[in-house]
Amino acid sequence: MTPRLRRGVRLTYDRTRQTHVLLFPEGVLVTNPTAAAVLELCDGERTVPDIVAALGTRYAGVREADVDDVLARLVDRQVVEWT
């Protein structure tokens, strides 16, 4: 299974807030840098191990359990889905 943004959800950089935000029909979700890095890789093609590997080239100490935790919270918020 691969994570992707739900239909109608868009990750964008908000210059006013100077951070990434998720825009969706019900509102706006301000993301932390960790969530934004994960979300940028949620394209419906990469698996969690692929996402961990990609993040591992940018950051030290990336653990699959941490990525799973971020994704679980985003699924709970209904902005990410599994395909």
Is residue 82 in a domain? no
Note whether 9 and 24 are within 8 A (CB).
yes
Q: How many domains does the chain have?
A: 1
CATH code, domain carrying 67: 1.10.10.1150
Confidence of residue 26 (pLDDT cuts 50, 70, 90): confident
Residue 30 lies in a domain: yes
Q: Is residue 47 part of a domain?
A: yes
pLDDT, mean over the chain: 96
Tell me the per-residue pLDDT of 41-60, one tens digit each, with 9 for 90 and over: 999 999 999 999 999 999 99
Return the percentage of the chain with pLDDT > 70, whole number.
Answer: 100
Residue 55 confidence (pLDDT): 97
**Which residue in this structure is represented by tokens 């109608």?**
8
